Amino acid sequence: MSLIIFVSTLQSCGSSNANEETRQKKNEVVEAPALETFNLKSGQLNSSFQVPGELMSFQQVDLYAKVNSFIKKLYVDVGSEVKTGQVLAVMEAPEINSQLSAADAKLKSQEAIYIASKATYDRLLETSKTPGTVSPNDLDVALAKEKSDLSQLEADKAAYKEIADTKNYLEIRAPFSGVISARNVSAGAYVGPSGKGSDLPIFTLQEQKKLRLVISVPEAYASYLSGKSSVSFTVKGLPNQIFKATVSRLAGALDTKLRAQRTEMDIDNSSKKLLPGMVAEVSVPLTGTANTFIVPKTAVVNSTVKPFVIKVINNKAQWVNIQLGRTDHNKQEIFGNLSLNDTLIKIATEEIRDGADVKTVLKN
C-alpha cells in the first residue's frame, strides 16, 4: 500500500512539473531580431541607360521629274558621288520646244507692235507742240494704245519665261553634294511628278559624309539631357569600335505615341565606316544633382500599389510612398516626403506593417 502511494505521489509531481514548463513556454515572449537602419543622405548618382538608335543620312531627297517627259540620258548611277549643281539626268519633251518657239514668235510680234505704237505716239506728241495741228483726243488715243501694247508685251515676256523655265526642268541637277543611293528608271522611261509620271523617284540622293544619330529618350530621363550631353554608341557591323557623339538637337516635346523626346546627334562620317540605316546601341549617361536622396535598393519595397520605404519614428514603422528615379548597381534614387537624416530600415519588406513596433540598430 505504501508503495502505491509513493508511485502516485511521484506521478503527481511529474505531471505538475510538466504543466509548469508548458505555462512558462506560453508566457515567454520571443524577441524579434533588431532591424538594421541607416540615416537618409543626399548624394549624386551617375548612371546610364541603353537605348536603340538609328543612323540616318544628314540630308536625303527623292528626285522626281517636274514635267511629264521621257528620260533621254542618265549621267549617274547607284553609288555615284555627285557635287552640288551637277547634271544627273536629261529628259526630252518635244511639245515644250514647240510651245517655246510659239511663245518666242508671239513675243517678237508684240515687240514690233509696241515699237510702232510708241513711234506713233511720239510723233503725235512732237506735232502737238504746234497749236492746232493735233487734237487732244487723238493724242490720248495714241497714248492709250502705247500703254496697252506695252502691257501685252510684258505679258508675252512672262509667258515666254514660264515656258523657258519649264524647259530647264528637263535637266535634273543635284541640290547638294552626296551619293546616289537609288536609281529607279532607265533611258527612255516615261517620268513625271509623283503619281502622274512615275510612282518612284528617278534618284535618291543622300549626304553620307555627315550622319544623324536619332534616339527617343523616355520621359523619365528627358530632363537629364541637354545640348552639351555626350553619348557613346556601337553598331553590329563594327562591334569592336565605340563611337562618340554630342547632342545637337532636342525636340523639346514628347512624342504622343512613345512619350519620348526625339534627340539627334551629328556624326562625322568622312571615313564612310558608318552607313545610313544602321541600328546603333546607344549608351546615354545620366548625370544627377547633389540634392537627391540615394538609398540601397533593399530599402525600397515595390508593392503592387506604390513603392515605399519604411521610416522609423519613436520605434514605430511608418510607410512612406516614394517615386523612383535612376538606379545604379545596388543604389536607388528616390523622391518623396522625406528629410535628411530620417531613419530608414535598410532591408524593408511588407511584413513590417505600417505602425508596428520595431527594434532597430543603426548602421551607416
- What's the average model confidence in pLDDT over 120-125? 88
Q: What's the pLDDT tens digit per position in 213-269? A: 999 999 888 887 877 788 999 999 998 899 999 999 999 999 888 899 999 999 999
pLDDT at 5: 46
Q: How confident is the model at residue 45 (pLDDT cuts 50, 70, 90)?
A: confident
Please indicate whether residue 193 or residue 195 has the higher confidence score (pLDDT).
Answer: 193
In a domain, 137, yes or no: yes
Fill in the DSSP letter of residue 176.
S
pLDDT above 90 as % of the chain: 51
Choosing from 257, 287, 317, the residue where a domain stops is 287
Give the ranges where 212-304 is alpha helix by DSSP (H).
Answer: none
Contact between 344 and 309 under an 8 Å Cβ cutoff? The reply is yes
pLDDT at 6: 43
How far apart CA 172 and CA 175 sit, in angstroms, is 9
Residues 248 and 344 grouped into a single domain: no
pLDDT at 96: 86
In a domain, 28, yes or no: no
pLDDT at 197 over 70: no
pLDDT at 102: 92
pLDDT at 10 over 50: no
The candidate with the shortest Cα–Cα distance to 347, out of 310, 307, 319, is 310
* Residue 323 belongs to domain spanning: 35-45+290-362
The candidate with the shortest Cα–Cα distance to 348, out of 321, 316, 314, 319, is 319
Q: Could you give the C-alpha distances from 52 to 60, 116, 136, 229, 236, in angstroms and in order? A: 22, 74, 84, 17, 12
Residues 68 and 134 grouped into a single domain: yes
In a domain, 155, yes or no: yes
Choosing from 263, 287, 311, the residue where a domain stops is 287
- Residues 6+ away with beta carbon under 8 Å from 67: 91, 93, 96, 166, 169, 170, 192, 193
Fill in the DSSP letter of residue 39.
E
- ∠ CA 125-129-133 to the nearest 5 degrees? 85
| Mean pLDDT score across all residues of the chain | 86
pLDDT at 172: 93
- What's the average model confidence in pLDDT over 329-350? 89
pLDDT above 70 as % of the chain: 89
pLDDT at 135: 83
Residues 170 and 136 grouped into a single domain: yes
Q: How confident is the model at residue 44 (pLDDT cuts 50, 70, 90)?
A: confident
Residues 153 and 235 grouped into a single domain: no
pLDDT at 364: 63
The candidate with the shortest Cα–Cα distance to 82, out of 189, 208, 191, 271, is 208
The domain total for the chain is 3
pLDDT at 48: 81
The candidate with the shortest Cα–Cα distance to 348, out of 305, 292, 295, is 295
Q: How confident is the model at residue 155 (pLDDT cuts 50, 70, 90)?
A: very high
Q: What's the pLDDT tens digit per position in 20-38? A: 555 554 444 455 678 899 9
Burial of 253 (0-12, 13-18, 19+ CB in 10 A): exposed
- What's the average model confidence in pLDDT over 95-116? 90
Give the ranges where 203-305 is alpha helix by DSSP (H).
Answer: none
Residues 169 and 155 grouped into a single domain: yes
In a domain, 104, yes or no: yes
How far apart CA 20 and CA 26 sit, in angstroms, is 10
Residues 221 and 243 grouped into a single domain: yes
Residues 160 and 273 grouped into a single domain: no
The candidate with the shortest Cα–Cα distance to 318, out of 291, 281, 296, 345, is 345
Task: Give the CATH number for residue 242.
Answer: 2.40.30.170
pLDDT at 24: 54
pLDDT at 204: 95
Pairing of strands 178-183, 81-82: antiparallel
pTM of structure:
0.64
pLDDT at 229: 84
Choosing from 287, 305, 329, the residue where a domain stops is 287
pLDDT at 3: 43
